[in-house]
Structure 1
Amino acid sequence: MTSPAHLTALRESYDTLADDYFAQVPPVSGMDPLNRGMPGAFAELVRADGSGPVADLGCGPGRTTAHLVGLGLSAFGIDLSPKMVEVARRNHPGLDFTEGSMACLDIASGTLGGIMAWYSVHHTPPEQLPGLFGEFHRVLAPGGRVLIGDWTGTGEEVVPGPVFGHPVSYRNYFLPLSRLVELLTEAGLDVTAHLEQEPDGRLKRRHACVLARKPPARNPAPVTS
């Protein structure tokens, strides 16, 4: 089966960027306090639910997966780029990393306690986000949590210039936070919290974190005689 063009562009570009990405992009622990805080809150909620493992989707070189494990979660990473997976395995031995697409997960339905998509959703064309979030809903256990961290915008499509000196062929799609919330809700996920930060000199674009949850299973009504 032929891979969609945007996935081919992503795979080829991130294969080229993998080593420089690991060397130059800070881990979650090196980000600002709010960006550090949201994964911590997500981990606490997932631990309290006790509903299954966590998938770090678009895990890149594995630092976010390792961060989640350090927060006490049973986490594994999935990335589209074979080179990113190679870098993740090399730098985080003992953790589980697999090549794959977040839009078509080789994961049984209703089995995950959580999903983290950390600055990876913005590569998906907007018209494909309903299917992507529907896939999130499918693999989550009832009550399972989602944390999305990503750049936001006004709906613009951006063709980036060279990244770390390497030309790339992928595109970025920066949606308003309100649209991300709407799409998650339409996919059957309850948005429980969201936070958007303004550019502050260090950051050149708004970015947001969104917490959502698959509705818990309802207990059947008691049978009365």
Structure 2
Amino acid sequence: MTWLADTQTSYDTVAVDYAALVRGAITKDQYLRTALAMFAESVQAAGGGPVVDVGCGPGEVTAHLHALGLEAFGVDLSPGMVDVAGRAHPGVRFEVGSMTDLALPAASVTGLIAWQSLIHIPDDEVKVVLNHFHRVLRPGGPLQLLFHVGDSTRLKTEGYGGHPMKVHIHRRQPDQVSDWLRDSGFKVEAYTMLDPGEKPQAFVFARRED
């Protein structure tokens, strides 16, 4: 898939500058910290166990979950991002992988989190990704998504230090994402907006059924 290769190359190119940009963002934002604390509490209530951060980028979310006491590890399409994450957080596990073909055993994780990574997946591939999420999660395991809200798609050709990029950004409505989750066997428990206004984002909190 050309778009997948373009996404990988783009994030390999910007990995170092992107990591510098987002470093410390969770510490500064109480809403992000609260969302991660809620996720950690849900994982612990489900009995604990491995947690995967899909599309982990430079590993800030993974490391924060690890610091909260979770057995968290990160997966990212970009080897460059995985390298940056591993050097920044040497005590945390990171590996290269694609959410479109998630190479984890069935029911092998208690929780799954994907922040701002589903935004690069075309509509006709989202169901494939969510089916993988459902497959690798244990029954009752929590899922947390964060994504850009809207009804448009744009091609990003430059970013993070002025480097060339070729990635599509898909903005979606929480209702649409919630419907896709239900169709894939998840129970949607809540969703909430973050930064409503010019660049709105949304959290969706769900759980694997059966």
- TM-score class, shorter-chain normalisation, is over 0.9
Q: CA deviation at 1:106?
A: 1.3
1:27–1:64 CA contact under 8 A, matched in 2: no
Q: CA deviation at 1:160?
A: 1.7
| Cα distance in 2 between the residues matched to 1:171 and 1:30 | 28
Match of residue 202, structure 2, among 189, 198, 208: 208
Q: CA deviation at 1:31?
A: 4.8
Match of residue 154, structure 2, among 158, 170, 188: 158
Provide, for residues 167-198 of structure 1, a one-character-per-residue CA deviation record: whole Å limited to 9, x for no partner.
11111111111100000110000011110134
Match of residue 14, structure 1, among 11, 14, 32: 11
Letter in 1 for 2:26: S
Provide, for residues 52-91 of structure 1, a one-character-per-residue CA deviation record: whole Å limited to 9, x for no partner.
2100000011111101101111000000001101101111
Rg comparison, structure with higher value: 1
Q: Which residue of 2 aligns with 1:52?
A: 49
Question: Does 2:187 match 1:190?
Answer: yes
| Cα distance in 1 between the residues matched to 2:84 and 2:102 | 21
Structure 1 segments of 4 or more deviating over 6 A? none
Q: Which residue of 2 aligns with 1:220?
A: none
In structure 2, the residue corresponding to 1:112 is in which secondary structure? coil
Letter in 1 for 2:156: P
Q: CA deviation at 1:117?
A: 0.2
Bigger share in strand:
2
Q: Which residue of 2 aligns with 1:172?
A: 169
Change (3 A) 1:31 1:8: farther
Match of residue 63, structure 2, among 53, 56, 66: 66
Q: CA deviation at 1:5?
A: 1.0
Q: CA deviation at 1:51?
A: 4.6
| Cα distance in 2 between the residues matched to 1:52 and 1:143 | 13
Instruction: Please list every run of 5 or more consecutive structure 1 residues that lacks an aligned counterpart in the other structure.
Output: 217-225
Q: Which residue of 2 aligns with 1:222?
A: none
Provide, for residues 108-161 of structure 1, a one-character-per-residue CA deviation record: whole Å limited to 9, x for no partner.
10111010101111000011111110110000011111010111102x111124
Q: CA deviation at 1:35?
A: 2.5
| Cα distance in 1 between the residues matched to 2:25 and 2:106 | 29
Letter in 2 for 1:160: K
Instruction: Please list every run of 5 or more consecutive structure 2 residues that lacks an aligned counterpart in the other structure.
Output: none
Of residues 22-31 and 122-131 in structure 1, the stretch that sits farther from structure 2 once superposed is: 22-31
Bigger share in helix:
2
Letter in 2 for 1:45: S
| Cα distance in 2 between the residues matched to 1:194 and 1:72 | 25
Letter in 1 for 2:10: S
What RMSD, in angstroms, separates the aligned Cα atoms of the two structures?
A: 1.4
1:157–1:173 CA contact under 8 A, matched in 2: yes
In structure 2, the residue corresponding to 1:142 is in which secondary structure? coil
